[in-house]
Structures are given as C-alpha cells and as structure tokens.
Amino acid sequence: MKTSFLKDTFLFSNIKNKNREAFLKAYDLYLDEIFRFVLFKVSSEEEAEDVTSQVFLRAWNHIQNDNDIDEETLRAWFYKIARNTVIDHYRYKNKTKNTVSTDEGETTINVPSAEDIFSDMAIKSEHELVMKKINGLKDEYKEVIIMRYVEELSIPEIAHILKKSKGNVRILTHRALRALKDLLES
C-alpha cells in the first residue's frame, strides 16, 4: 500500500507532538507492511506478531520520552524501529536459548516457518518459491529486496534506514536482485 508523502508528513508532525489519534492512524496505515518486514526476519508468525506489537509500543515510548527523531518520514522511522526491535529480539532469543539449553537440555519449540505461514494464506506456488529463495538470501540482501521490491520504499528512505549512502543502496539492491535471480534459476 502506497501512502502519500504529505499524509505521512502530516501524521509524523502530529505524532512528534504526542498526538494519540495520529499515532493510531499511523498504526493502521503501516501495521501490515511492518508486520511483513518483521515476518521475513523472524521464523514464525507468532514471533512476527510479538515483534510488531513491540515496534509500535517502542515508537510511542520514543515520542513520550522526547527523544530526537532524525528520520525524514514516518515510514522510515517505523522501519528503523522495526529493524532494531528484530535485532533486540534475536539477542534476547539467543540469551534465552542458551539459558534453556543449560537448564533443560535440548528443547526445540515447533513453530511454523515463514513459508508455512504464506502457504496458509493461500499464496500461489510461485510466490512460495520466491519467498523461500528470499529467505535463502543473506540478511543484507533479504532486507533490501523486501524494502525496495516488496514494500516499494524509495532509495533515500532505504538509505536512511540502513544508514548507508544512496549510491551504496542502489548497488546493494542491484546485487540482491541478481542474487535472487541466480537462486531462482539454479
């Protein structure tokens, strides 16, 4: 879903001034794509839901604590928070896993993978294949493929989220797409 730039800017201006209604509107507007973005990075729908909930709560806390916001768009801001939340989620998960394995030995929880979720959602076989291949890419490529081609973020937005130069992002997306094609052809 493409959100108009002015709508994004208007909501962002209001959110910076701690407007709850604006924040809820932003939640409705960006929930789906943040969820998808997270889903590609975590291994289950359940995890994706948890992480996505945390993303929005973190965003609100960030506003309430009067922290500086240097992102130019609301969308980029949510993506950045989502990225950090996923990283923190993995850190926490690793820590817990180590603790669990020490205490209880090998305990594996059977959670559905991203591909399983998509198959549940009646996705065509082609989509499923592409999904699998995207998940086979390295994280850096996976991320830009999702942002650039699935969610259609602009190059400057991605550059801002990843803290890279625009030229760098262009090269990265190009390489990522080529890598995905190679995987699909192999």
Interface positions with other proteins (CB under 8 A): 5-6, 9-10, 12-14, 16-20, 23-24, 27-28, 31-33, 35-36, 45, 48-49, 52-53, 56-57, 60, 64, 72, 118, 121, 123, 126-127, 130-131, 145, 149-152, 177, 180-181, 184-185
Residue number with CB closer to other proteins (104 or 126): 126
Residue 20, φ and ψ in degrees, nearest 5: -65, -40
We find the least distance from the C-beta atom of residue 166 to other proteins, in angstroms, to be 13
Name the token pair of 29: 């507007």
The least CB distance from residue 110 to other proteins, in Å, is: 20
* Residue number, 2 or 138, with CB nearest to other proteins: 2
Distance CA 109, CA 112 (A): 10
Of residues 17 and 110, the one with the C-beta less far from other proteins: 17
Q: Which of residues 19 and 113 has its CB atom nearest to other proteins in the complex? A: 19
CB of 84 to other proteins, least distance (A): 18
Residue 94 beta carbon to other proteins: minimum distance, rounded to whole angstroms: 25
Tell me whether residue 130 or residue 162 sits nearer to other proteins (CB atom).
130
- CB 29 → other proteins: shortest distance, Å? 12
